[in-house]
Chain A
């Protein structure tokens, strides 16, 4: 049936005069085709630490959700690749840590929580900034340091904020106690909200993380500690950095699970499981997401001096998160290759428009250099490079 439809669509496309008509034609064909509403998938069992049971090993993916996840992951992927391009053109400067390869983490985590829950992460944050609700436009414009950026150009790559998203933090590990504090506020306010507190395999060896584990467990804070293990802390592989690479066990007295971070359904189910644990008042829980970054640590790191191109290629061909979702959806009648390609076209356009804006938007006005020192205060003067240069500071 599918082959026949594909053949018919090819004929129609070939016959069409205008590209719009072709699109319409294929869309008409697609709309008239019956997709499955949903499909059930088996997902990998998670390794468990101090847990009797883990997340379910099967899950249902609806067509609607699948298309949404696909679009989001593709948007993050394309956005990061565009950032790579802009950086090489020197339109983005300074630090730029890309997360292509890790899309199942940011999209899967968001799928497992509510918008009223909270999330904090470190500096590899562009994907989360998007999944937490900001537009590609304001993210790219922040990377290029323009006034249309989500932080008006004041923050840059590592300091983007949104509602219930606390950045974007530059100091490795510092975001983890912050996340436990946000969880404390969740418990204090009594609204059953949870805080997802992310850190990498490199940060996992920071002492302040263990301080946060201790207090979160003592006070039963609704904090989901999440180690995004992409196997390398900058140029140091996990084997060279950690005496124990079982990051999901490093919380010791905190129950943990190790999750396939390349499978968005696995991430989603694990997140729902973890959130339920916290909302039930059982205290913190730890998730290790095993994932991979295609880029180096940052744009200054080619990423091949400490790992082989073969390794990168192997992950791309066998475990790419977008590919895994695509295969599942197409093979189970949840979507067609054509319609996913259409989404690609729309995503590319969105990214292109955003990049245009991010390149053309002017830099913040110099007069605003002194703004936002203090909140809720009357205006005052801020000193510039010498005593005669003064900037006005308003809240």
Chain B
């Protein structure tokens, strides 16, 4: 964000605690000190109001980054995201673009209970006119936020609170001020031959762990990091399934009408269906509002053991 704020003076950040508090999760640490009140704006607790203000500013030619402290609170503002931002370019037949980024942590955290743990990938991914991205590691986060800010469309960036604290080695190329991760392209994190495992956000890490365990048993998983929910890179997934003949999807969100459901439907419609040796399998969050007690919470999110189990089921092992 610092690099993009420096590069283009039309870019600014607004949200609760983004300025003087350095960000609720310290994501915007140092920015207010460097750029001041004009470009880093603390808002009152008024999601619908400030999301609307951000969209209006984008319509008038600025490039706002609107932070939701978590995406759970974006529900208060969801009309502005969908009806004012996503649909406007279409309704105006191309006269009125809305170059805005909505970002913040999404999905389950640790012990924050039902109202603070919802995953919005399926909800936002449903809507034409929006782009929806979901970074897993540091390279994803950096490259996707830069692409999102430079994109002339409304982009929803679903970050993950538990991943904020995880360190990754950043490759040389990713350290450049112009490093971008293209929106709409998935990445094969780990090539494999026996099964395609597709995921987004934090669960990508769990899939890689599962792949490491299974490798010792001679099962080589191809792990795909979606990076973008919408527009979905189904071609990368199809090419992989046509190679491995098996598919498991992994997501943190609820199962019904989710990301895995969409992938499965599209696989059925495309060339990869005839290459499947078994039905696609979905690993998801449990179909309950998130409980609080640790044992219940742990069993409401996909764990490495659940992914391994699903992979073996798909492979009929």
Using CB atoms and an 8 Å cutoff, list the residues of chain A in contact with chain B: 118, 120, 151-155, 159, 161, 166-167, 169-171, 174, 176-186, 188-189, 195, 207-208, 211-212, 214-215, 218-219, 371-377, 380, 382, 387, 395
Q: Is the CB of B97 within 8 A of A375?
A: yes
Neighbouring A residues of B79 by C-beta, 8 Å:
171, 174
In this assembly, does B165 line the interface, its C-beta being within 8 Å of a C-beta of chain A?
Answer: no
User: Whole-angstrom distance between the alpha carbons of A382 and B55 in the complex?
Assistant: 25
Neighbouring A residues of B38 by C-beta, 8 Å:
188
Q: Is the CB of B49 within 8 A of A120?
A: no
Number of interface residues of B (CB under 8 A): 44
In this assembly, does B53 line the interface, its C-beta being within 8 Å of a C-beta of chain A?
Answer: yes
User: Whole-angstrom distance between the alpha carbons of A171 and B81 in the complex?
Assistant: 12
Q: Known contacts A154-B90, A154-B91, A376-B97: does B55 contact A181 (CB below 8 Å)?
A: yes
In this assembly, does B128 line the interface, its C-beta being within 8 Å of a C-beta of chain A?
Answer: yes
Query: Could you list 21 examples of A-B contacts with CB < 8 Å?
Result: A151-B91, A151-B92, A155-B92, A166-B56, A170-B83, A171-B84, A174-B84, A180-B49, A180-B52, A181-B52, A181-B54, A181-B59, A185-B56, A211-B46, A214-B44, A215-B43, A215-B49, A371-B94, A372-B92, A375-B153, A380-B231
In this assembly, does B57 line the interface, its C-beta being within 8 Å of a C-beta of chain A?
Answer: yes
Which residue from B50, B151, B269 sits with its C-beta under 8 Å from A211?
B50
Q: Is the CB of B92 within 8 A of A159?
A: yes
Using CB atoms and an 8 Å cutoff, list the residues of chain B in contact with chain A: 12, 38, 41, 43-44, 46, 48-62, 79-80, 83-84, 88-97, 99, 128-129, 131, 151-153, 231, 269
Q: Is the CB of B48 within 8 A of A182?
A: no
Q: Is the CB of A375 within 8 A of B12?
A: no
Q: Is the CB of B93 within 8 A of A120?
A: no
- Beyond contacts A159-B92, A166-B59, A188-B57: 4 other A-B pairs, Cβ-Cβ < 8 A, are A176-B52, A180-B49, A181-B59, A214-B46
Q: Is the CB of B84 within 8 A of A178?
A: yes
Q: Is the CB of B53 within 8 A of A181?
A: yes
Most buried by A among B12, B46, B94: B94
User: Whole-angstrom distance between the alpha carbons of A177 and B45 in the complex?
Assistant: 14
User: Whole-angstrom distance between the alpha carbons of A167 and B89 in the complex?
Assistant: 12
User: Whole-angstrom distance between the alpha carbons of A7 and B46 in the complex?
Assistant: 67
CB distance from B267 to the nearest CB of A (A): 12
User: Whole-angstrom distance between the alpha carbons of A184 and B83 in the complex?
Assistant: 20
- A142 (CB) vs chain B CBs: closest residue: B93
Q: Known contacts A171-B79, A211-B46, A211-B50: does B56 contact A179 (CB below 8 Å)?
A: yes
CB distance from A155 to the nearest CB of B (A): 4
User: Whole-angstrom distance between the alpha carbons of A181 and B88 in the complex?
Assistant: 15
Q: Is the CB of B92 within 8 A of A178?
A: no
User: Whole-angstrom distance between the alpha carbons of A177 and B91 in the complex?
Assistant: 19
Neighbouring A residues of B46 by C-beta, 8 Å:
208, 211, 214-215
Q: Is the CB of A177 within 8 A of B56?
A: yes
Neighbouring A residues of B60 by C-beta, 8 Å:
118, 166, 181-182, 185-186, 195
Most buried by B among A151, A154, A208: A208
User: Whole-angstrom distance between the alpha carbons of A121 and B58 in the complex?
Assistant: 17
Neighbouring B residues of A171 by C-beta, 8 Å:
79, 83-84
Neighbouring A residues of B92 by C-beta, 8 Å:
151, 154-155, 159, 161, 167, 372
User: Whole-angstrom distance between the alpha carbons of A159 and B46 in the complex?
Assistant: 26
Q: Is the CB of B51 within 8 A of A372?
A: no
Q: Is the CB of A373 within 8 A of B56?
A: no
Neighbouring B residues of A179 by C-beta, 8 Å:
56
Which residue from B51, B91, B152 sits with its C-beta under 8 Å from A375?
B152
Which residue from A151, A174, A212 sits with its C-beta under 8 Å from B93?
A151
- A164 (CB) vs chain B CBs: closest residue: B60
Q: Is the CB of B131 within 8 A of A178?
A: no
Neighbouring B residues of A387 by C-beta, 8 Å:
269
Neighbouring B residues of A395 by C-beta, 8 Å:
94
Neighbouring A residues of B131 by C-beta, 8 Å:
374
Q: Is the CB of B93 within 8 A of A154?
A: yes
- A211 (CB) vs chain B CBs: closest residue: B49
CB distance from B265 to the nearest CB of A (A): 9
Neighbouring A residues of B84 by C-beta, 8 Å:
169, 171, 174, 178
Q: Is the CB of B52 within 8 A of A178?
A: yes
CB distance from B277 to the nearest CB of A (A): 22
User: Whole-angstrom distance between the alpha carbons of A186 and B59 in the complex?
Assistant: 12
Q: Known contacts A161-B95, A185-B61, A215-B46: does B152 contact A376 (CB below 8 Å)?
A: yes
Q: Is the CB of B50 within 8 A of A375?
A: no
Neighbouring B residues of A375 by C-beta, 8 Å:
89, 94, 97, 99, 152-153
Which residue from B48, B54, B90, B152 sits with its C-beta under 8 Å from A373?
B90
